Amino acid sequence: MKQKQRRIDLQPWQDSKAKPYIHLEGVSKEFNGVLAVDDVTLSIFQEEFFSLLGPSGCGKTTLLRMLSGFEMPTKGKIYIDGVDVTRRPAYDRPVNMMFQSYALFPHMTVEQNIAFGLKQERIPRAEIQERVKEVLKLVQMEKYGSRAPHQLSGGQKQRVALARSLVKRPKLLLLDEPLAALDKRLREQTQFELVNIQEKVGITFIMVTHDQEEAMTMSTRLGVMDHGRLRQVSTPNEVYEYPNSEYVADFIGSINKFEGLVTEVDDNHILVDSEETGSELYVGHSADAPVGSHVKVAIRPEKMMIDHAAPNQKKNVTKGIVRDIGYLGDVSIYHVELKSGKIVLATQPNLVRLAERPVTWDDTVYLFWRAENSIVLTA
Amino acid sequence: MKSILQKLKLNFTSPFWVTVIPFGWLLLFFLIPFLIVLKISLSDLKFGLPPYAPLIEWTSEGLLIIKINLTNYTFIGTDSLYLFAYLDSLAIALLGTIGCLCIGYPMAYGIAKASPSKRTILLMLIILPFWTSFLLRVYAWIGILSPQGYINTLLINLGLISSPLSLIDNTFATVLGIIYCYLPFMILPLYAFLEKIDHTLLEAAYDLGARPFQAFIRIIWPLSRPGVIAGSLLVFIPAVGEFVIPELLGGSQTLMIGKVIWNEFFTNRTWPVAAALAVIMLVFLILPIAIFQRYQEQQVRFLDAE
């Protein structure tokens, strides 16, 4: 099947001339002297599925509420499709929100819930009916139009909430933890559905979530937030492979970090001397770290190789004893204790059955990795 | 305590007791008194104590005589005074209820929206007047409204009026008294329902393009309707039969059914007529109670799901 070429596949954020669709400029929000959102500048492009990711209290929900118009920024400006909406109230913005609690009106049927927003626009009744029907079909809830919200399951409520926020065809749809109330299986299935629907309707989505897996699978780009600040904005792949700070590296997935001193640096590599590993660490990219400065070299557990035999390399290698093995079915996580006492994680796919596993408890093993798979964290 | 209950084999949480206790209560304090009143209303008037003839009588010949006297009811129909008293009572109670609703709704909404710590204080302030005797509070209004009262004195001293306004001994004062005395009964159930409404529903309405007023009309008002009905009935039902307020503030021109019943009982000593008046009033009031019941069931259905 041939896929429609979408604007977003062109990666407009790579193009310096591309015009952002949603633009936040130095947006801050203060609550009783506490900065909930601290000077956020962010551009989001049309048809993007953007995720704001962060722990609770990091300001991501406040940012979403400022986009929806429920909160007014203390400082800064918000533009949607070139129009300054900073001071516009929620009812006067081309933005709709899907609430975490779904916020379906309990005294209205599914159809009445969905028609609510259209009635506010004084759209003719026939058109309302048609659009309600269309959107119910989109979320596969055609048969439930006359049900009351309390007669629906969690997944069905979620669909109705989505339909209600989509039916007005907003320029921007905000999703506040849209899948948090669903159980794991349903959540995974719904993730893809939501992305499919987004591609179909072509509306720009901004989602708030604390679930990194959700953000990774669904988004075109994501922004990692911490203490009201945006720490990194990039594609899921880039954020995972090239976190720009220790905070982001820790927040997304797990990562091994070795402290050390920079001994050599040039345009395409850095050499770090680490006591923790007892070897020199060669990183295959440059970083803003002068010789003699303290840095951390980070390697994802799945990029660690593990073997009884010493590898054919002198750099990027360390030795330790297997203390623990976490068996997850598809992969196993080896907890290897180095001489320094540091525990290093290495994930290996379970290519053979458990009983035939070559590396087991209390084995002395070598851990090693390729130079291009490690990164230097300076912040 | 537990052992005594166990010895007596009384488990008050069993389905049997859970139904028997409220029904027993209703039987003892509602149905039986009502049947006594009904019995009196069907009796003949008699001089003596009690001032009515028994309904069931054994004669010396061993005959069982049951005399049901409907003339008390037909008598009420013949005198238009009673009809007007009923209508006036309903009208005054209705005005009082509307007044309570108009004042109480914004207050209840304000309390429900206040921060939890402020809420407690505000609710206390609503309940506080109850700590003073009801009679005293109504009496105090005489001091405020009478020709020599605070309002008239103030207005005359300010030179706004030359002779006192007649603020008391009329329907206005009665309605005012009812609004004042029954306001908490309106606010408390309203508050209970308004407080339960999820604030995000209001945000959802704004988000979908509803301005604050529209959002109120289409979301908050319908969801608070059971509270409006509960509060209105709690005000309306006792207000219809109110005696003290029209007696103290209404003067001679306000004829409410409570006062008429009192007169029949104590001035005319016609207990059967008074009882018949009370029975008719109850029949009038059953209707709104039934409506309330229906709405309450509906509300339970909403809340089931949440």
User: Please, what are the domains in chain A?
Assistant: 13-247 (3.40.50.300), 256-377 (2.40.50.140)
Is residue A209 within 8 A of residue A226, CB to CB? The reply is: no
pLDDT confidence of A4, banded at 50, 70, 90? low
- Sequence-separated (6 or more) residues with CB below 8 Å from residue A236: A215, A216, A217, A219, A221, A222
Check whether the bond before A290 is cis (ω within 30° of 0): no
The partner residue sitting opposite B214, judged by closest CB among A70, A120, A150, is: A120
Long-range contacts formed by B77-83: CB under 8 A, 24+ apart: B81/B255, B81/B260, B82/B257, B82/B260, B82/B277
Collapsing DSSP to helix, strand or coil, A237 comes out as: helix
CB atoms within 10 A of CB A179: 23
Report chain A residues whose CB lies below 8 A from the CB of B198: 101, 103
Secondary-structure breakdown of chain B: helix, strand, coil percentages, each rounded to the nearest 5: 75, 5, 25
Query: Crossing angle, helix B221-240 and helix B171-196, to 10 degrees?
Result: 140
Nearest CA in chain B to A165: B208
Between chains, do B209 and A106 touch, taking CB under 8 Å as contact?
A: no
Between chains, do B201 and A121 touch, taking CB under 8 Å as contact?
A: no
Nearest CA in chain B to A108: B219
Looking only at the bridges linking them, the beta strands covering A221-226 and A83-84 are unpaired
How far apart CA B154 and CA A247 sit, in angstroms, is 71
Report chain A residues whose CB lies below 8 A from the CB of B304: 150
Which helix or strand (DSSP H or E) is residue B270 part of?
A: none
Secondary-structure breakdown of chain A: helix, strand, coil percentages, each rounded to the nearest 5: 30, 35, 40
Report chain B residues whose CB lies below 8 A from the CB of A69: 206-207
The pLDDT value recorded for residue B299 is: 66
Between chains, do B211 and A91 touch, taking CB under 8 Å as contact?
A: yes
DSSP codes joined into one string, A44-73: E-TT-EEEEE--TTSSHHHHHHHHHTSS--
What DSSP character marks residue B168? S
| Nearest residue to A215 (alpha-carbon basis) of A24, A82, A69, A58 | A58
Report chain A residues whose CB lies below 8 A from the CB of B203: 70, 90, 97, 99, 103
Between chains, do A90 and B207 touch, taking CB under 8 Å as contact?
A: yes
Question: pLDDT tens across B241-252, in order?
Answer: 899 999 999 988
Written as six digits, the tokens of A146 are: 């006359």
Question: pLDDT tens across A270-305, in order?
Answer: 999 998 888 889 998 888 888 989 999 999 999 999
Q: Which residue has the higher pLDDT, B58 or B183?
A: B183
The pLDDT value recorded for residue A45 is: 94
User: What rounded mean pLDDT belongs to chain A?
Assistant: 92
Is residue A28 within 8 A of residue A75, CB to CB? The reply is: yes
pLDDT confidence of B287, banded at 50, 70, 90? confident
Res A152 pLDDT > 90: yes
The partner residue sitting opposite A96, judged by closest CB among B207, B219, B301, is: B207
Smallest CA–CA distance, residue A62 to chain B, in Å, is 14
Per-residue CA distances from A165 to A162, B37, B277 (Å): 5, 60, 58
The pLDDT value recorded for residue A1 is: 39
A153 touches chain B (CB under 8 A): no
How far apart CA A268 and CA A284 sit, in angstroms, is 6
The pLDDT value recorded for residue A76 is: 96
User: What rounded mean pLDDT belongs to chain B?
Assistant: 89
Q: What is the mean predicted confidence (pLDDT) over B65-93?
A: 90
Q: What is the mean predicted confidence (pLDDT) over B172-199?
A: 94
| Nearest residue to A173 (alpha-carbon basis) of A200, A141, A134 | A200
pLDDT confidence of A9, banded at 50, 70, 90? confident
Between chains, do A99 and B204 touch, taking CB under 8 Å as contact?
A: yes
pLDDT confidence of A171, banded at 50, 70, 90? very high
- A residues 88..107 contacting B (CB < 8 A): 89-91, 95-97, 99, 101, 103-107
Q: What is the mean predicted confidence (pLDDT) over A235-240?
A: 94
